[in-house]
């Protein structure tokens, strides 16, 4: 049934409408494929029964002519999203057994539009990681391997399960979240498309919080059109999230006109990093040529505070995380490890429930917020953040979008990076957008000499996802990236 | 700035995470390597720069002061490791 699972979301929509297949047939095909893909460890909890019921309901709505925009589309949901009555544990031991009594705003939107849930996807614990090696449920394996090699590679993180599942065609699209690059970096490592919308475009309500001023939800999909379709359903006002803007959601798919004549594309000189691979440099140049050949104008821009974004992020994000994760205390949900008194119960629960990376970040965050250090660290980082935002505001006076690589390298092997700071450098090109609240999209653009996907990133003005998607669509057409991982699972 | 073993223990206690003595030197080194790296920020002149308070400039939203969701204590405690009569149960706090 791989024929059915090869269909993109746009093709599913057309095929269901034309009655070429049913939603039940499509979902069954996915359930079969998921069973065969165990070695990828992309799903931490499968919901085949619920999926079949949702697919049956989709077929009934299609028969009545009441199909929604995502009718019958089988999706994987990142474990960070609250799904009513279904495993929601942020892939942490500390949320053992947690089944929310409510549904996240985003999944409500998606299911309200007819989407089918196949299950919950693996991720780095509490979305902290760039390689999906910190999940309580074990590593996710990238469907891609180096040519001629049978060694595992990481899928990136934190949305590694989402990216691997989309690349392996064991879901038609997936929800993901991005705090420092967690949508775009795994998309780059797996040859998929990932968009992080503007902060405030999508409601965070019902998504387990990591760093509230940086977190934003978005989709990972097989192509730009599918990203436009999914984002259109996920976005929108929600009174439950006060940072979510009350602005109409444009028809993103209609923005994919293929016309970027006269578009001004900025190239930030600070993104030429020491030690960046020659292949990435060459691909970046190629990206400029692709857009130029379609009438875009290339403009050099400067983002002078770029190199400070990552260290500032590693103050702001852990600070906010230490505060957000204070709620996991063994009282209200999840794991409890008893102690001789309540304080010991808290300490034992959190010692056993959190993994090493999460503990490290909570401790950094606790330290930088502790008495006497707030101004030196947190206030300083928030000032640097203003400077980063100003850099972008200045650049966007002269350009409509900015083009950069997504990551400094292709996917690496598990265990290859053990130094925390070296791991953090994976997000060097993506984290600036979170700091400034800007939208960004990663588009697969080429294979490297070892046969692994490489990607380019486009950065947009706040709430201008339309221009971003339009440009990404043209880039996709020019790049003509159709490679698929060779099936070994 | 860097942290010593005593500070690591203090941070761990503030964060309510039990840390075994043998793990303290490793944690100290990891925290110091991160703190050393973020020290790069001291190069940046931030005099007269306002700290960023929101990623997107919007005015604070207000809503009528009414109960929008409530009256379901059983749902609130449904996931608790221990509860009784819709109350969370914890070890004795007062002797």
Distance of CA A353 to the CA centre of its chain: 24
Work out the average pLDDT over A350-360. Answer: 97
Mean pLDDT of A420-440: 93
Angle between helices A356-369 and B24-38 (to 10 degrees): 60
Asked, for residue B84, whether it belongs to a domain, the answer is: no
The closest of A93, A100, A82 to A137, measured between CA atoms, is A93
Q: Which domain holds residue B11?
A: 5-42
- Residue B52 included in any domain: no
Q: What is the pLDDT of residue B93?
A: 83
Over range A54-71, report the average pLDDT. Answer: 97
Q: Taking CB atoms and an 8 Å cutoff, what residues of chain A touch B41?
A: 308, 311-312, 315, 380-381, 384
Across the range A455-470, mean pLDDT stands at: 98
How many Cβ atoms sit within 10 Å of the Cβ of residue B87?
12
In a domain? residue B31:
yes
pLDDT digit string (tens) for A362-378?
999 999 999 899 999 99
Residues of A recognised as catalytic: 78, 158, 182
Query: In the structure encoding, which two tokens stand for residue B5, read together?
Result: 């073993």
Kindly report, residue by residue over A279-298, the tens digit of the pLDDT.
999 999 999 999 999 999 99
Q: Which residues of B are less than 8 Å from A335 in CB distance?
A: 81
CA of A101 to nearest chain B CA: how many angstroms apart? Answer: 6
Taking the Cβ of residue B3 and every Cβ of chain A, the question of whether any pair is shorter than 8 Å is answered with yes
A366 → closest Cβ in B1, B14, B43: B14
Looking at residue B70, what is its pLDDT? 86
**Residue B58 within a domain:** no
Structure tokens at A413: 């092997």
Q: What is the pLDDT of residue A140?
A: 98
CA distance B78 to chain A (A): 8
Does B87 reside within a domain?
Answer: no
Asked if A348 and A339 count as a contact pair (C-beta separation under 8 A), the reply is yes
pLDDT of residue B54: 77
Angle between helices A224-234 and A105-112 (to 10 degrees): 110
Residue A390 CB partners (closer than 8 Å, separation 6+):
none
Q: What percent of chain A has pLDDT over 70?
A: 100
User: What mean pLDDT is predicted for residues A214-235?
Assistant: 98
Q: Which backbone phi and psi does A117 adopt, to 5 degrees? A: -95, 120
Pairing type for strands A440-447 and A401-405 reads unpaired
Number of domains in chain B: 1
User: What does the pLDDT read at residue B83?
Assistant: 96
Residue A332 has a pLDDT of 96
Residue owning tokens 């009282």 = A331
Q: How far is CA B53 from the centre of its chain?
A: 18
Closest alpha carbon to A171 in A107, A233, A135, A120: A120
- The pairing of beta strand A264-268 with beta strand A401-405: parallel
CA distance A23 to chain B (A): 33
Cα–Cα dist A437/B82, whole Å: 40
With pLDDT > 70 as the criterion, what percentage of chain B qualifies? 99
Q: Which chain B residues touch A333 with a CB distance below 8 Å?
A: 79-81
Element (H, E) at A196: strand A193-196
Is the CB of B78 inside 8 Å of chain A's CB atoms? yes
The answer to whether position B91 is within a domain reads: no
- Note the helical H segments in A65-159: 105-112
Say if residue A114's pLDDT is above 90: yes
A240, A311, A435: best mutation site toward chain B, by most B Cβ within 10 Å? A311
Residue with tokens 């190629």: A286
What is the per-residue pLDDT for B57? 73
Two structure tokens written together for B1: 């700035």
Closest residue to B33, CB basis, from A326, A382, A421: A421
d(CA A15, CA A61): 15
The answer to the question of residue B16 being in a domain is yes
Residues of A in contact with B93 (CB under 8 A): 341-342
pLDDT for A1 equals: 54
Class of domain A2-259: alpha beta
- Tell me: pLDDT of A276 over 90: no
On the question of pLDDT at A275 being above 80, the answer is no
Quick check: A177 and A196 in contact, CB under 8 A?
A: no
pLDDT given at position A438: 97
In this predicted structure, the answer to whether residue B61 has a pLDDT above a threshold of 90 is no
In this complex, is the C-beta atom of B41 within 8 Å of any C-beta atom belonging to chain A?
Answer: yes
Beta bridge partners of A264: A297
pLDDT tens, A301-340?
Answer: 999 999 999 999 999 999 999 999 999 999 999 999 999 9
> Strands, DSSP E only, in A21-99?
43-46, 74-78
pLDDT, tens only, A386-426: 999 999 999 999 999 999 999 999 999 999 998 888 888 88
CB of A181 closer than 8 Å to CB of A405:
no
Residue A300: CB atoms within 10 A of its CB come to 11
Task: Say which residue the tokens 């490290």 belong to.
Answer: A360
């Amino acid at each position: 049934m791989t024929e059915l699972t090869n269909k993109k979301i746009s093709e599913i929509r057309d095929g269901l409408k034309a009655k070429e297949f049913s939603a039940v047939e499509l979902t069954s095909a996915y359930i079969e494929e998921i069973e065969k893909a165990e070695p990828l460890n992309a799903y931490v909890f499968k919901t085949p029964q619920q999926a079949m019921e949702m697919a049956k309901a989709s077929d009934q709505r299609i028969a009545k002519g009441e199909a929604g925009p995502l009718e019958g589309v089988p999706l994987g949901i990142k474990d960070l999203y609250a799904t009513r009555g279904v495993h929601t544990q942020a892939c942490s031991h500390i949320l053992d057994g947690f089944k929310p009594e409510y549904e996240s705003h985003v999944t409500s939107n998606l299911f309200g539009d007819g989407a089918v849930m196949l299950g919950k996807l693996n991720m780095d614990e509490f979305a902290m990681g760039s390689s999906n090696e910190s999940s309580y449920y074990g590593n996710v394996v990238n469907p891609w391997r180096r040519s001629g090699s049978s060694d595992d590679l990481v899928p990136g993180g934190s949305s590694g399960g989402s990216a691997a599942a989309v690349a392996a065609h064991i879901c038609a699209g997936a929800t993901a979240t991005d705090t420092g690059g967690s949508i775009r970096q795994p998309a780059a490592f797996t040859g998929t498309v990932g968009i992080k919308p503007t902060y405030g475009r999508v409601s965070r309500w019902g998504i387990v919080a990591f760093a509230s001023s940086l977190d934003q939800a978005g989709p990972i999909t097989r192509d730009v059109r599918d990203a436009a379709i999914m984002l259109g359903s996920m976005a929108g006002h929600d009174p439950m999230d006060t940072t979510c803007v009350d602005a109409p959601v444009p028809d993103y798919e209609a923005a994919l006109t293929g016309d970027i004549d006269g578009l001004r594309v900025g190239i930030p000189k600070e993104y030429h990093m020491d030690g960046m691979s020659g292949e990435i440099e060459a691909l970046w140049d190629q990206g400029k040529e692709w857009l130029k050949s379609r009438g875009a104008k290339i403009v050099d821009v400067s983002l002078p505070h770029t190199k400070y974004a990552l260290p500032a992020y590693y103050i702001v994000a852990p600070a906010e995380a230490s505060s957000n994760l204070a709620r996991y205390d063994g009282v209200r949900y999840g794991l409890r490890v008893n102690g001789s008194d309540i304080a010991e119960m808290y300490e034992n629960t959190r010692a056993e429930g959190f993994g090493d990376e999460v503990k490290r970040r909570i401790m950094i965050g606790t330290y930088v917020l502790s008495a006497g250090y707030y101004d030196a660290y947190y206030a300083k980082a928030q000032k640097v953040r203003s400077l980063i935002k100003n850099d972008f505001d200045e650049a966007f006076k002269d350009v409509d979008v900015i083009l950069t690589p997504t990551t400094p390298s292709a996917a690496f092997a598990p265990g290859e990076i053990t130094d925390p700071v070296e791991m953090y450098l994976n997000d060097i090109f993506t984290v600036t957008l979170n700091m400034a609240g800007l939208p960004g999209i990663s588009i697969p653009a080429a294979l490297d000499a070892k046969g692994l996907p490489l990607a380019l990133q486009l950065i947009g003005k706040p709430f201008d996802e339309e221009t971003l998607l339009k440009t990404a669509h043209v880039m996709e057409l020019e790049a003509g990236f159709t490679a698929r991982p060779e099936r070994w699972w | 700035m860097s942290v010593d073993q005593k500070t690591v223990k203090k941070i761990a206690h503030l964060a309510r995470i039990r840390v075994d003595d043998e793990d303290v030197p490793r944690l100290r080194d990891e925290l110091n390597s991160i703190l050393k790296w973020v020290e790069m920020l001291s190069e940046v002149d931030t005099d007269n720069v306002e700290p960023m308070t929101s990623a997107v400039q919007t005015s604070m939203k207000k809503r009528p002061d009414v109960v929008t969701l409530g009256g379901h204590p059983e749902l609130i405690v449904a996931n608790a490791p221990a509860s009784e009569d819709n109350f969370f149960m914890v070890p004795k706090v007062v002797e």
